[in-house]
Amino acid sequence: IERMNDDKLARNAQLVRKTLNRFIIFMIGSGLRSDEAYNLTWDQIEFRKNKDNYFCRLDLSKSKTGPRQVTTKPQCVNALKQLKSVYAEYSDVFEKNKWDNNKVFPFHFHSSFRNLLKSCDLYEDKSINKKRDIKSCRQTYISWAVIKGENVFDLAKNCGNSVAVIEKYYTNNLTSKDFEERLSSLQIIK
């Protein structure tokens, strides 16, 4: 947030950083692949409400595994609403760069995200000796859902994966300490 609100930045850099902030929130709340997010248009988003929360339903037409609908976490609603305000504030930058106003994320964040992680000393996960990138947002979404005990089949369907893929590629870095709260409260024998 401090980097995003730096007054000394050029308007283009301000826009990129403010958009990156909402992009991260959206990605961790939706579990989309980065190419799915970059192809997402405003008309593919439906704001919905269940009994407790607002959320988004995304109608993905371009996806690695074919068309699907994605249900987001509630934080995506605010991120997208804030994003619209940011885009309105920086409409001159949009016009100058001839960016597509129908794209939710009309430019890519790979280097901006990497620079942000480096500035926060989060670029490398030293515990597993792995560098983080945009894909880390999807990893976070899936890992947190598994830790919270969400149904893995539902999660796989929402992410356009199989349960086996989630178990093999996304939960492999989780340890028993990640599930400590749930595991320690289970009673096997009464």
Per-residue confidence (pLDDT) for residue 101, from 0 to 100? 82
Mean pLDDT of the chain: 86
Residue with tokens 């005990």: 149
For residue 180, pLDDT beyond 90: no
pLDDT value of residue 140: 87
136 pLDDT higher than 90: no
114 membership: H or E segment, kind and range: helix 110-119
Quickly state the pLDDT bin for 77 (edges 50, 70, 90).
very high
With cut-offs at 50, 70 and 90, classify the pLDDT of residue 164.
very high
Mean local confidence (pLDDT), 32-46: 94
> What radius of gyration, in Å, describes the C-alpha atoms of the chain?
18
